[in-house]
């Protein structure tokens, strides 16, 4: 039997690990320790199989000031590290790939610079590049979740699947970091319409809600990203790191 892969999120701003509410790190921004590298080591010690890193400085300012920290994370743990935030050019793609991440998650670049996105996607392939779909009221938002695009999320998902994208990370921004419960409708719909692998992100508060996500596994929803609920110790961590022996990083 396969189990849902639980992925802890490390959100970085000004070189520190922060809590992010509805995609805005400045809102109720409580720090959970000064060192994201040490946080990655803690999650590794808890036997997680994959870490999700978001660079909010890069998303907001198109800055690379946290890249050295991300490189330290990658070299400090022997598990894959996936990355999201502020990657908008081919030069950005190469720079972040060179620090040692295992998977790059893009959104803004795919919408604003589609030719460059396709070039990067064709070079690195679907195992290295995934698409994030950040949604507010069924509309895709980009640039650090601050800019509405006028694009309906399922239209975007279908277009990316046609290009060859094999994994989507789906977030209802309004549920992110507020511990209000997950919106599984968006996640389920993307899985059903694309027939691809989907990671749910946002809103998970407890074990029962993890089981609700796990019930979507037959549709292709195989993993879930959790941030605030983990940092606030709402789960017994060791009991959550359950994953099938095969297909950990696909």
- CATH (domain of 123): 3.20.20.70
Which structural domain, as residue segments, surrounds residue 46?
Answer: 5-233
Task: Decide if 250 is inside a domain.
Answer: no
Residue 244 belongs to some domain of the structure? no
- Within-domain flag for 106: yes
**CA–CA dist 114, 76 (Å, integer):** 34
Q: Which of 5-14, 32-41, 58-67, 85-94 has the highest mean pLDDT?
A: 85-94
Tell me the C-alpha to C-alpha distance, in Å, between residue 11 and each of 32, 73, 149, 245, 246: 10, 12, 24, 28, 28
Catalytic residue among 57, 92, 134, 172: 134
Q: Is 134 an annotated catalytic residue?
A: yes
248 lies in a domain? no
Q: Per-residue pLDDT for 31 more than 70? A: no
Is residue 249 in a domain?
Answer: no
Which comes out higher in pLDDT, residue 176 or 205? 205
- Which is more confident, 32 or 209? 209
Tell me, rounded to whole angstroms, the distance of Cα 27 from its chain centroid: 19
H-type alpha helices, the chain: 36-45, 56-61, 67-76, 90-97, 108-112, 114-124, 153-163, 184-194, 207-214, 228-231
Note whether 234 and 216 are within 8 A (CB).
no
pLDDT, tens digit, for every residue of 130-176? 999 999 999 999 998 889 999 999 999 999 999 999 999 999 998 76
Mean pLDDT, residues 15-29 taken together: 59
pLDDT tens profile 178-191: 567 899 999 999 99
Provide mean pLDDT across the span 52-65: 87
Looking at residue 250, the DSSP 8-state letter turns out to be: -
Domain count, the chain: 1
pLDDT of residue 95: 96
Does the annotation mark 155 as catalytic?
Answer: no
Residue at 19 is within a domain: yes
**Domain for residue 197, yes or no?**
yes
* Catalytic, out of 11, 57, 172, 222: 11
Would you state the pLDDT for residue 60?
78
The owner of tokens 């050019």 is: 89
Is 246 a domain residue?
no
């Amino acid at each position: 039997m396969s189990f849902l892969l639980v992925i802890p999120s490390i959100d970085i701003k000004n070189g520190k690990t922060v809590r992010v509410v509805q995609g805005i790190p400045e809102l109720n921004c409580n720090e959970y320790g000064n060192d994201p590298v040490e946080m990655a080591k803690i999650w590794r010690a808890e036997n997680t199989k994959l870490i999700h890193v978001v660079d909010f400085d890069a998303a907001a300012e198109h800055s690379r000031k946290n890249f050295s920290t991300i490189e330290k994370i990658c070299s400090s743990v022997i598990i894959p590290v996936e990355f999201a935030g502020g990657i908008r050019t081919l030069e950005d793609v190469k720079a972040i790939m060179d620090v040692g991440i295992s998977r790059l998650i893009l959104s803004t670049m795919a919408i604003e610079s589609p030719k460059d996105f396709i070039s990067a996607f064709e070079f690195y392939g679907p195992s290295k590049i995934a698409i994030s779909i950040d949604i507010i009221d069924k509309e895709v938002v980009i640039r650090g979740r601050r800019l509405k695009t006028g694009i309906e999320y399922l239209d975007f998902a279908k277009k990316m699947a046609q290009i060859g994208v094999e994994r989507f990370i789906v977030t209802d921004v309004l549920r992110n970091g507020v511990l209000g419960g997950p919106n599984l409708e968006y996640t389920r719909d993307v899985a059903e319409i694309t027939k691809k692998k989907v990671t749910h992100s946002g809103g998970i508060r407890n074990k029962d809600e993890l089981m609700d996500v796990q019930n979507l596994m037959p549709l292709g929803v195989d993993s879930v990203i959790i941030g605030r609920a983990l940092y606030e110790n709402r789960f017994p961590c060791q009991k959550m790191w359950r994953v099938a022996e095969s297909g950990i990083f696909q």
